[in-house]
Amino acid sequence: MNFLDVKTDYAFKKVFGSETSKNILISFLNALVYDQKKIKIKDLTIVDPYNIPMVKGVKDTFVDVKAVLDDDTKVIIEMQVLNHSGFEKRVLYNAAKNYSVQLNKLEDYHLLNPVIALSIVDFVMFENSGNVVNSFKLLEKEQLLQYSDDIELIFVELPKFQKELSQLQNIKEQWIYFMKNAGSLEYIPKDLDIHIKQALESANEANLTKDELEAQHKRKEFISVQRLAIMKAKNDGIEQGLEEGIEKGIEQGIEKGIEQGIERGIEKGIEQEKINIAKNLLDILDNQTIALKTGLAVSFIESLRK
């Protein structure tokens, strides 16, 4: 069997955003968002369900799936494969925007429903955290009092997840394993949860149309080109930095060498002048007095007399 890499655009939305994805998405969100909560999601509505995509105009490296839960909480699930400047701000902006647009003019604020932004990323965002999943809310800085539960940002960093299939301990780890490794699997593991097996069936290339496979291929090619462009930019930056560093080092070395040469030349000239003065005083003064006048050592004055 061949499975689509669900970290890429259309496979992600097909698995989690199709008309038939409701139970899969409920299981996914209960595992990653509601795993520590007593009340689980029982139902949801998928907003803007997946359709066979148009390849023309492809320009983004992320895709999102939106759902409204049975308690009216809005969830934005996003798959991001490439890191870019301002990504964290965009996630916050999208969450705040989806929160604010709920109200029409003159409507009361109590009608606002919570918004959860769940971002699965294929890169490391938080270097100082060893957690695969990090969740953020509004808290008081000193006492960590919770201000509101209405906006929550959750990030799943796939590169940090290193467990193999035999090491998975719960459905949360199974879902993260699926997200990271679906594209490299050759069969459906028998020990996975039923909903994850259904997700793999949705990602099975044998179940996709020709148009869907073509769209997936184009998307994967686009993302690969973007990654290579980023890598080249980094390498060019490193190479340029090395060249500039070497040039600067040479310039500083020459300047320092000239400066040290001048200093040594002056010191040597002063020293020679002292010796000349000492020689002229040999017939006039004793060794101790000459040493005192010139700053030269008595032993050196003695050597001059010899």
According to the model, what pLDDT value does residue 7 have? 85
pTM for the whole structure: 0.67
Rounded-to-integer distance, Cα 25 and Cα 70, Å: 13
Render each residue's pLDDT in the chain as its tens digit; 306 residues.
Answer: 788 888 876 778 888 988 788 999 999 999 999 988 888 899 999 887 766 554 444 444 455 788 999 888 999 998 888 787 788 898 999 999 999 888 876 678 888 899 999 999 999 999 999 999 999 998 888 888 888 889 999 999 999 999 999 999 999 999 999 999 998 898 999 889 999 999 999 888 766 677 776 766 666 666 665 656 656 666 766 667 677 767 777 777 777 777 777 777 777 777 888 888 878 878 788 888 888 878 888 888 888 887
Provide the pLDDT for residue 216: 63
The end-to-end CA distance of the chain, in Å, is 100
pLDDT of residue 241: 67
How many Å apart are CA 116 and CA 152, to the nearest integer? Answer: 5
Residue-wise over 150-189: b if at least 16 C-beta within 10 A, else e?
A: ebbbbbbbbebeeeeeeebeebbbbbbbbbbbbbebeeee
